[in-house]
Structure 1
């Protein structure tokens, strides 16, 4: 049976210039809001904390400890 990656959270390793899928899926969750982020739309993350963020504003707040 083929397994679909649709509507499945991916496990991701975040690197300075990109990310690598550790397990298949089509989205990740924002570490601050829990919002679903499609992998095609993923632009903001923390390499140090290995967290994804839904927007630039949210990533800055998290970096400043204001999350």
Structure 2
């Protein structure tokens, strides 16, 4: 029997060259905006903070913010 993972939040482990699915689902949430990101559209994340981002611009801003608070 297949477990449905549609409309379900996935849990991922982000690595430098990809991610590994820890809990099945079809999307994650952007750490900054909270917008859902389909796993097939996920391109930007932080390995250090284990966060996903909806766009390159959001990713860069998150990096700058993290550097300021460090």
For normalisation by structure 2, the TM-score amounts to: 0.90
- Structure number, greater radius of gyration: 2
Unaligned runs of at least 5 residues, structure 2: none
Q: CA deviation at 1:4?
A: 1.2
| Structure in which a larger fraction of residues adopt strand | 1
Unaligned runs of at least 5 residues, structure 1: none
Aligned-partner Cα distance in 1 for 2:2–2:20: 22
For normalisation by structure 1, the TM-score amounts to: 0.93
Matches within 5 A, 1:1-67: 2-65=2-65
